[in-house]
Structures are given as structure tokens and as C-alpha cells.
């Protein structure tokens, strides 16, 4: 099983999970053309995708679900609220905590995530006892979420903002309050605190995702998170940029694989 972030951030999110013949996208917040380009960088076409799973209806996660359904006839999986908010028809509806099976080798479990005005879920992909989690857009976390994430071999988690940069930055006060609230996004510190609860010696790789352009910097996110987990975590930590894909993680291997640069223009 491998994980490749095609890009994460407020201008669009999509993450590819590959396992044997199965190629599942988690979120599709890009235009059809953007998705084609990003998949093209790893020698895939949109037609090669098996299914598209949507975490929640916000445009940067589900805004491109309609186009892949209409243009490429890809099957969409989401919950009822997300389908309603996005106006999607003919989707495969799932309930939280009911595993979705893709072929005989890949299962993906949706777990509820607190996020304002949305019925958001994290996804945990399992293959022969190895688990990889993709968790984004949460202002806080629940014991249930911690329990499911604890000991995953791979964890992709948002680290959205640096607290000082957010509060000293240009956003209006109401937006700062919303981002930092219990239903908003995780700060670098919160992401580190959450990871300290769920990382075990089974955890080999972490990717920090969905960094704010204005309120964060990759080195700040990485150093703040490592401050919280440095004692327990000896694996690989990387940052997913808005314009990916840059690397893939093969679950079970400790080193990430950098993708060759092919002159991608996004
Ligand atoms: Zn988002
Ligand atoms: Zn969101």
C-alpha cells in the first residue's frame, strides 16, 4: 500500500492510496484538468482511479467530485450530508465506522471528525494489518478518533497554522476565531499534541498537510510537531505542499520516495 498526496491546502486536496489493482482518491478538490496533470506526473490517468472518497463537502475537498463523476464516470463514496451539500446524485453512501472494501486487499474505515458545519470523516486504509490514516480539517479531536488512529503505520494529519502567525496575521478577527475554534483547524501545536497521543513505535511515517499559506511555514510546522513527539517517533516526517505530488510513502518502508521532477506546470 502506498500513499501519495497530489496536493493539500485551502486551494485543493487529493490523496492517492494505491494497493494492488486498487487506486483510491481521498478527496477531490481540484478541477478535472488539475487532477489530470497531477496524476500525469505519476503516469496515471483519471480513468485509472477505482473510486473517489470524500471527507466533507467543503470545496477544497469535495468541489471536484462532480466533474470526475460526470466526465470520467468514477464512483463517488461519501456520507449523506456531504452528498446533499455538494448536490451529488448516484453516490455510494457510507456510514461512519462501517469499513468500505475495495477488492480483497484494501479496506477503508471512515471515522467521524469534528469540523464546523460539516459531517467530516477521517479515513483509515488497511492492507494486511498495515494501516495508513488521512485526517484533515479538525479543530479538536475525540477519544474515538484517537483510539482508531493509535498505532497506525502512516499518519497524514493537518498542521494548519502557527498560533502567533494566525493572531498577528491579516485575517479578520471572526475568521481567526473560527479557524482556531473547536470546529476549525489544528494549529502546529495541537497537531503535535494529537500526534503525541496516537504515535506509537509502530508509526513509521508522518505527513503534515493542509498548511496555511499565510499563517504557517513548513519548517515551523515540522519543528513544532517534532517538539511534541521527538521522544517517541523515530520515523520519517514530511510536509505535503499545495502543489504536489512530490513524494510517495510505501507503507512498511521507513523512507519516502521522492518523485522525479517532470517539469510540471500547475
Ligand atoms: Zn480544507
Ligand atoms: Zn473543511
How confident is the model over 229-259, as pLDDT tens digits?
Answer: 998 999 999 999 999 898 999 986 656 788 7
Q: Identify the CATH number of the domain in which residue 110 sits.
A: 3.60.15.10
Q: How many domains does the chain have?
A: 1
Is 97 a domain residue?
Answer: yes
Torsion angle of the four alpha carbons 88, 89, 94, 96, in this order, in degrees rounded to the nearest 10 = 30
What distance in angstroms lies between residue 256's CA and the mean position of ligand 1's atoms?
Answer: 24
What distance in angstroms lies between residue 60's CA and the mean position of ligand 1's atoms?
Answer: 5
Q: What is the DSSP string of 158-193?
A: E--B-HHHHHHSSS-HHHHHHHHSTTS--BHHHHHH
Is 264 a domain residue?
Answer: no
In the block, cell 503516469 appears at 43
Compute the mean pLDDT over every residue in the chain, rounded to the nearest whole number. 94
What distance in angstroms lies between residue 184's CA and the mean position of ligand 2's atoms?
Answer: 8
Please give the Cα distance from 71 to 96 (Å, whole number).
Answer: 28
Please give the Cα distance from 125 to 133 (Å, whole number).
Answer: 6
What ligand has the least distance to the C-alpha of 158?
1
Which residues constitute the domain of residue 19? Answer: 2-258
What distance in angstroms lies between residue 199's CA and the mean position of ligand 2's atoms?
Answer: 24
The CA-atom distances, in angstroms, between 111 and each of 84, 121, 148, 229 are 19, 5, 8, 23
What ligand has the least distance to the C-alpha of 11?
1
C-alpha 82: how far from its chain's center? 16
Is 245 a domain residue?
Answer: yes
Is 266 a domain residue?
Answer: no
Say what the pLDDT of residue 265 is: 38
Interval 27-78: pLDDT, tens: 999 999 999 999 999 999 999 999 999 999 999 999 999 999 999 999 999 9
Which residues hold their Cβ within 5 A of ligand 2, which is an ion? 58, 137
The pTM of the whole model exceeds 0.85? yes
What ligand has the least distance to the C-alpha of 209?
1
Evaluate whether 215 touches 168 at the Cβ level (below 8 Å): no
Say what the pLDDT of residue 6 is: 97
Amino acid at each position: 500500500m502506498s500513499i501519495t498526496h497530489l496536493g493539500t491546502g485551502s486551494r485543493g486536496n487529493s490523496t492517492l492510496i494505491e494497493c494492488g489493482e486498487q487506486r483510491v482518491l481521498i478527496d477531490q478538490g481540484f478541477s478535472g484538468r488539475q487532477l489530470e496533470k497531477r496524476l500525469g506526473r505519476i503516469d496515471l490517468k483519471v480513468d485509472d482511479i477505482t473510486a473517489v472518497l470524500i471527507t466533507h463537502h467543503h470545496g477544497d475537498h469535495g468541489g471536484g467530485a462532480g466533474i470526475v463523476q460526470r466526465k470520467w464516470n468514477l464512483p463517488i463514496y461519501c456520507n449523506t450530508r456531504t452528498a446533499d451539500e455538494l448536490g451529488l446524485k448516484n453516490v455510494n453512501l457510507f456510514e461512519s465506522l462501517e469499513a468500505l472494501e475495495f477488492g480483497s486487499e484494501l479496506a477503508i474505515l471512515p471515522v467521524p471528525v469534528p469540523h464546523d458545519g460539516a459531517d467530516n470523516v477521517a479515513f483509515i486504509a488497511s492492507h494486511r494489518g498495515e494501516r495508513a490514516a488521512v485526517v484533515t480539517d479538525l479543530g479538536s479531536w475525540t477519544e474515538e478518533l484517537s483510539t482508531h488512529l493509535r498505532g497506525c503505520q502512516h499518519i497524514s494529519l493537518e498542521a494548519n497554522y502557527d498560533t502567533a502567525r494566525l493572531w498577528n496575521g491579516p485575517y479578520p478577527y471572526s475568521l481567526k476565531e473560527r479557524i482556531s475554534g473547536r470546529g476549525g483547524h489544528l494549529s502546529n501545536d495541537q497537531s503535535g499534541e494529537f500526534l503525541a497521543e496516537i504515535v506509537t513505535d509502530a508509526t513509521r511515517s508522518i505527513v503534515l498537510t493542509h498548511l496555511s499559506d499565510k499563517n504557517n511555514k513548513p519548517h515551523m510546522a515540522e519543528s513544532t510537531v517534532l517538539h511534541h513527539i521527538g521522544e517517541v517517533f523515530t520515523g520519517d516526517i514530511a510536509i505535503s505542499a499545495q502543489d504536489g505530488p512530490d513524494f510517495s510513502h510505501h507503507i512498511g518502508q521507513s523512507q519516502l520516495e521522492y518523485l522525479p521532477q517532470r517539469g510540471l506546470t500547475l
